[in-house]
Structure 1
Amino acid sequence: MVGYRGAGVLGATVIIAGGVAYLVWRHTGKKPKSRPETESGARREGEEAEGRREERPAERLPATPAPPVIESAGTQVLVLGLDGAGKTSLLCCWATGSPEADVTPTQGFNAVSINRDDLHVDFLEIGGKEELRPYWQRYMSKAITLVFVVDSSSQQLFPVAEKLLHELLASDPHLPLMVLANKQDLPGACSITEVHDGLNLAGVGDRKLFLIGTCTKAGQSELSSGVQDAHDLIVHLVNDRR
């Protein structure tokens, strides 16, 4: 059981004291069954698609190193966010247990595995540059949790982050979502309430939603409470899927 510090329960909401984080739990209903296509309808769609392929050149994703192979199914935590949000620094904190200095930003794909006692978690981070974002959607189906990292000191980027996040979530209406409002230590950083509103998290649908303020200051001897809370919640979610 995760040790939620100072957690209080109010209805369907768990709140971690001090404004560090809060969890919204919404009832998850059954997914609606898709209607079977008729043979003629499928044929028409195929003909239309073929016509479109003749009119337009095939879409090509940007050249980038091949993603690492994740062997263990069902324990992949997908880590996404805009370039410079701090995804790699957070992964290093979770892997080493302490803040790291001079972390090189991920330019393509970054796979990190954590093995402790009977726990095994695979993280897959995909870079946030515009040319890498077409790959994000491809890995949504393999994730048990989406961790979306936001630079809370760059409010001008919230509209872009909001658009990309909601496009991702549309492909899986029940995937648990953890939003990390990172860089809380910087001057002018938005609060988690402002991040919640800026990303329109009220509209993410029926899913588990976590919003946590984090910072990864190098030189500290211990992880910040938000970074530790995020790690503990991820472990809890992975264990729930066993």
Structure 2
Amino acid sequence: MAALRNLSMVIGAAVAALGSVLFIAWNRYMPGRRRSRRAGYQLDYRPLCSQPNYLDRQILVLGLDGAGKSSIIHALSTNTTRSSSAPTHGFNTAQILSQGLKIELLEVGGSQNLRTYWNQYLKNAHIMVFVVDSTDDKRLQLARRELHRLLEEASHLPLMVLANKQVNIGWFFALL
């Protein structure tokens, strides 16, 4: 029971972190923003039906196999958690539609053979989220190498490193 509660807390923290990325993306790319002289920025709220053309943004979710990418995407798209998930043998997607903005969360599997395809997805991405299993000390250096390889390909791409399953964050600085 305690393990399930801890898993729920970890996934909740990961969802909150990824939710922050979505909020930043939404604020950065939201159409219809207008400047008010008195109140700073104000959003122009219009019904979805009057905005047939969505502004598309893609968030690429990458990381080694077993890092928790699928669980995070599942939790964001369904607002539920699950205790286990099968390895991704390809990719997973989820879409979030909100007031003229369509955010596609695209996860490409993290197994050795799928990592070779990661760079092909970089050109369409607007933000990259790199998920790390912070309890997997043995593969931390591998995760670091893969992240640095991606950054060489797409140094312009905004990046968020998500420390999943974390107990503490002291290990984070080993990635940098």
- 1:170 aligns to what SS in structure 2? helix
Scaled by the length of structure 2, the TM-score of the pair is 0.65
Scaled by the length of structure 1, the TM-score of the pair is 0.48
Following TM superposition, by how much is the alpha carbon of 1:161 offset from its aligned partner in structure 2, in angstroms? 0.5
Matching of residue 170 in structure 1 with residue 147 in structure 2: no
Whose helix fraction is larger, Structure 1's or Structure 2's?
Answer: 2
Matching of residue 198 in structure 1 with residue 174 in structure 2: yes
Following TM superposition, by how much is the alpha carbon of 1:198 offset from its aligned partner in structure 2, in angstroms? 1.5
**Does the CA-based 8 Å contact 1:74-1:142 persist in structure 2?**
no
Matching of residue 126 in structure 1 with residue 108 in structure 2: yes
1:164-206 deviation digits (Å, cap 9, x = unpaired): 101101122221111110012xxxx4x22321x1211xxxxxx
Larger Rg computed on CA atoms: 1
Q: 2:132 aligns with which of 145, 150, 158?
A: 150
**Hey, what does 1:97 align to over in structure 2?**
79
Q: After TM superposition, list the pairs within 5 Å mapping 1:8-47 onto structure 2.
A: none
> Alignment length, in residue pairs?
126
Q: Which runs of 5+ in 1 are unaligned?
A: 1-19, 22-71, 201-242
Partner Cα separation in structure 2 for residue 98 and residue 118 of structure 1? 25
Following TM superposition, by how much is the alpha carbon of 1:104 offset from its aligned partner in structure 2, in angstroms? 2.6
Partner Cα separation in structure 2 for residue 100 and residue 114 of structure 1? 20
Partner Cα separation in structure 2 for residue 192 and residue 107 of structure 1? 29
Partner Cα separation in structure 1 for residue 133 and residue 83 of structure 2? 18
1:134-161 deviation digits (Å, cap 9, x = unpaired): 1001111111011100000011211101
Return the letter of the residue paired with 1:115: L
1:76-126 deviation digits (Å, cap 9, x = unpaired): 111110000000000001101232344333111112112245442101111
Q: Percent identity?
A: 44
Partner Cα separation in structure 2 for residue 166 and residue 178 of structure 1? 13
Q: Which runs of 5+ in 2 are unaligned?
A: 1-15, 18-53
**Hey, what does 1:114 align to over in structure 2?**
96
**Does the CA-based 8 Å contact 2:67-2:164 persist in structure 1?**
yes
Partner Cα separation in structure 2 for residue 119 and residue 87 of structure 1? 22
**Hey, what does 1:181 align to over in structure 2?**
163
Q: CA RMSD in A?
A: 2.3
Return the letter of the residue paired with 1:199: L
Partner Cα separation in structure 1 for residue 164 and residue 151 of structure 2? 20
Structure 1 residue runs of 4+, over 3 Å off? 116-119
Return the letter of the residue paired with 1:75: R
Q: 2:61 aligns with which of 69, 79, 97?
A: 79
1:18-61 deviation digits (Å, cap 9, x = unpaired): xx98xxxxxxxxxxxxxxxxxxxxxxxxxxxxxxxxxxxxxxxx
- 1:75 aligns to what SS in structure 2? strand
- 1:141 aligns to what SS in structure 2? helix
**Does the CA-based 8 Å contact 1:77-1:121 persist in structure 2?**
yes
